[in-house]
Amino acid sequence: EICAFKDGKWLRIAGELVNDDDKAVKEAMLEKMPSLKAMYSADDGNMQMLYFKNAAATFSSFTEAPETISF
């Protein structure tokens, strides 16, 4: 579960984390964060890419009913 709180509202994201060993995913991450290219490569085994499966995000506050979005 990942939780965040801001301005009296909080977000909880829960689900199953799945490892993604796809080299193309690692290369895409390095393209979006070029400062890491000098330290890492998609083949070095020093990074792990994850994604949520069967996940739900719940937005809550003390003044409103919770809203849940499944993805």
pLDDT in tens, 4-25: 999 999 999 999 999 999 999 9
Please, what is the average pLDDT of the chain? Answer: 96
Give every CB contact of residue 28 below 8 A, 6+ residues apart in sequence: none
- Closest by CA to 48, choosing from 14, 24, 20, is 20
What Cα–Cα distance (Å) separates residue 1 from each residue in 47, 48, 63?
A: 21, 18, 23
Which domains are seen in the chain, by residue range? 2-70 (2.30.110.10)
Joined tokens for residue 41:
């490569």
CA gap 3, 30 in Å, rounded: 26
Position 34 scores a pLDDT of 93
